A and B are shown apart, each in its own frame.
Chain A
Amino acid sequence: MSVADTMTADPLARPHTDSVAAFVPDQSRAERTASFDVSAFPVPTGREEEWRFTPVKKLSALFAEGASDGLAWTDSLPAGVTVSPISASDARALGILPPQDRAAVVAAASAAAVLVDIPAEAELAEPVRVVLTGSGDTASHGHVVVRAGRHSKATLVLEHTGLAQHSELVSVVTGDGSDLTVVSTQRWSDGSVHLAQHDALVGRDATYKHVGVTLGGEVVRLNANVRYAGPGGNATLLGVYFADAGQHLEHRSYIDHNAPHCTSRATYKGALQGATARTVWVGDVLIRAEAEGTDTYELNRNLILTDGARADSVPNLEIETGEIEGAGHASATGRFDDLQLFYLQARGIPEDEAKRLVVRGFFADIIREIPLADLRDEITAAIEEELASTAYASANPAANPAANPTAPNADGQTVTKEN
């Protein structure tokens, strides 16, 4: 592993007291406000625990109330899947989780909700695709409600592209025994701002997986939350992110173990490149007293490719019962490993390509978790594109031709091929 200083904190030995810097924190994650009422959430100042890492000054348009347009919506629906408007009251009747911050509550209040309905027992060989495209920097809001019927098996892909100032609530309710994967890609143009809360109420004995792939945008904050509707649920929250100079990419996960015999995994991996690249991961896990037999683990790894980038990583684990199967968390942020680079270069691989190879390998275990081979290839290609567009600061393209005169290298660029 490229990270030298692995830190695995023992929650019992080391209570998390670092958040008291500016505020007295909530005694428990459970006490954090959750409501459909906009007035329950004051406009954040940046000093709040849940906003202290985020550049709130750039987000004021998304904290303000008022009707707005949504993003352009294009979908591709396998047979049986429907998309239709749904009223706020009908959506709430499905059991969707309430908003947990100002941006999410404003999104829920401002947007007309859309229901993506996956019928019971449907087994979809193709993903449900929704492409959301922004076309300007005026504020927009969206509320997507997803219902996965009992014993259905499906994958939903939400693609975010274009230029936008977008606040979004995605409310997933999965039926008993269902198996749903939600892949959300954030490939915004530069200058975009995206605040998102993606919730899931996971059905009894259901399997839910959420994969966040965040590559583009100036500020992206994606909060993935899980609660359980009954025992036996299994939730996996995954994320990969690559921050270049000028980007703030933030991922938060909150798994509320409120039912017995449920499992959860949260794994987020980020790479940072450029002096002002910034990433944040905050992973909260709460195991309530009634959640006996819980098995949970959360992990965050960050790979710093150049000096000056900053990755914040905060795993929080609260345990209210001793009757659990297991609970753990780990976080490590490390510089690029020079030994790995030397080893690969000593096999003839140019520095640029060697770095890409290491980053690709670093993300590999998360990509492997994406269902459907075509989709996996697509996400891999998106990451490849991001890596290819990344010029490493210390790369030395000019020196190549002398060493390898036969290389087709007339333009003086480092030639790299992938096949």
Chain B
Amino acid sequence: MSTLEIKGLTVSVETEDGPKEILRGVDLTVNSGETHAIMGPNGSGKSTLAYSIAGHPKYTVTGGTVTLDGEDVLAMSVDERARAGLFLAMQYPVEVPGVTVSNFLRTAKTAIDGEAPKLRTWVKEVKEAMGNLRMDPAFAERNVNEGFSGGEKKRHEILQMELLKPKVAILDETDSGLDVDALKIVSEGVNRAKGSSDLGVLLITHYTRILRYIKPDFVHVFVDGRIVEEGGPELADRLEDEGYDRFTSSATV
């Protein structure tokens, strides 16, 4: 049982006009086995929340706390956060030329576990995980994210999540840019990970479409750097019908 606890988190970024506050007091608790959907309009700060938890150097935490099972996440370096059990599936995964997927996966697994995985079982595990995500075996010998289509990049992110087995995974707009088939494959991967490891999921999305395949336990509406409404899955249905207008107009008053 793990708990990611975010309390009063405020975050700013450096702009040409000085620091700009993006997150304005976020409170959120994600327990093992729970799926939380964070939904909000463009520019509301959803991705900033994801990157801040992962420790991206561009964002400065100006207040609040983030803990994983009581440990201070904000005091950890980016790699320490990952080794502590956090995973961020990125909206825009980065190309790493000359580094093959198989080498990358093995290096990451070794870092996370503190020892190299047993070769035979590892190869089998990777092969099976790739098969589940309908990834061609040749994929393993391609360079990380180089020349990948949008769908391949997202499946590669989910592949890493399934293999690295984090405690809490943050999926940053993993659904954006995917066609329905790819969306189903990616969603299956998330559900598989949840089924096998009691994973806590923080699902950041602009659209309700992915929630047809990954059932959230909680839905949070994120506007202007904070959570403005919370509820169960029914809130997603309401957003589907009404959009974000109700929240954005009140936010500007």
B-contacting residues, A351-376, CB 8 Å: 351, 353-354, 357-358, 360-365
Partner of B82, one of A346, A399, A417: A346
- Whether A42 is near chain B, meaning CB under 8 Å from some CB there, is no
What are the residues of chain A within 8 A of B78 when measuring CB–CB?
A: 342, 345-346
**Contact flag A344-B56 (CB < 8 Å), given A354-B79, A419-B110:** no
- Whether B116 is near chain A, meaning CB under 8 Å from some CB there, is yes
Contact A339 B94 (CB under 8 A): yes
**Contact flag A349-B107 (CB < 8 Å), given A338-B57, A404-B80, A404-B114:** yes
- Whether A6 is near chain B, meaning CB under 8 Å from some CB there, is no
Contact A342 B94 (CB under 8 A): yes
Closest residue on chain A to residue B145 by CB atoms: A343
Contact A360 B77 (CB under 8 A): no
What are the residues of chain B within 8 A of A339 when measuring CB–CB?
A: 94
**Contact flag A349-B79 (CB < 8 Å), given A338-B57, A365-B98:** yes
What are the residues of chain A within 8 A of B160 when measuring CB–CB?
A: 347
What are the residues of chain B within 8 A of A349 when measuring CB–CB?
A: 79, 107-108, 111
- Whether B223 is near chain A, meaning CB under 8 Å from some CB there, is no
* A340, A360, A362 — most chain B CB neighbours (10 Å): A340
- Whether A2 is near chain B, meaning CB under 8 Å from some CB there, is yes
Partner of B96, one of A340, A346, A400, A408: A340
Closest residue on chain B to residue A343 by CB atoms: B94
CA distance A348 to B115 in the complex (A): 12
Contact B96 A348 (CB under 8 A): no
Contact A357 B99 (CB under 8 A): yes
What are the residues of chain B within 8 A of A364 when measuring CB–CB?
A: 97-99
Contact B82 A362 (CB under 8 A): no
Contact A408 B98 (CB under 8 A): no
B-contacting residues, A106-150, CB 8 Å: none
**Contact flag A403-B116 (CB < 8 Å), given A357-B96, A357-B107:** no
What are the residues of chain B within 8 A of A350 when measuring CB–CB?
A: 79, 111
Number of A residues whose C-beta is below 8 Å from B?
37
Contact A348 B111 (CB under 8 A): yes
Closest residue on chain A to residue B77 by CB atoms: A399
CA distance A340 to B99 in the complex (A): 11
What are the residues of chain B within 8 A of A358 when measuring CB–CB?
A: 96, 99
CA distance A345 to B78 in the complex (A): 6
- Whether A22 is near chain B, meaning CB under 8 Å from some CB there, is no
**Contact flag A348-B112 (CB < 8 Å), given A342-B57, A402-B80, A403-B76:** yes
- Whether A24 is near chain B, meaning CB under 8 Å from some CB there, is no
**Contact flag A417-B94 (CB < 8 Å), given A353-B107, A353-B111:** no
- Whether A391 is near chain B, meaning CB under 8 Å from some CB there, is no
Partner of B95, one of A1, A348, A357, A362: A1
**Contact flag A417-B97 (CB < 8 Å), given A342-B57, A403-B84:** no
- Whether A87 is near chain B, meaning CB under 8 Å from some CB there, is no
How would residues 97 to 109 of chain B score, 1 for a CB under 8 Å from any chain A CB and 0 otherwise? Answer: 1110001101110
* B82, B83, B93, B143 — most chain A CB neighbours (10 Å): B83
- Whether A28 is near chain B, meaning CB under 8 Å from some CB there, is no
What are the residues of chain B within 8 A of A362 when measuring CB–CB?
A: 97-98
Apart from A339-B94, A351-B77, list 8 A-B contacts with CB within 8 A. A1-B97, A346-B54, A346-B82, A346-B90, A353-B107, A365-B98, A402-B76, A417-B116
A-B contact pairs, 22 of them (CB 8 A): A339-B94, A340-B95, A342-B78, A343-B94, A344-B108, A346-B78, A346-B79, A347-B82, A347-B111, A347-B160, A347-B164, A349-B107, A349-B111, A351-B77, A353-B107, A357-B99, A400-B80, A403-B81, A406-B114, A408-B114, A417-B110, A419-B110
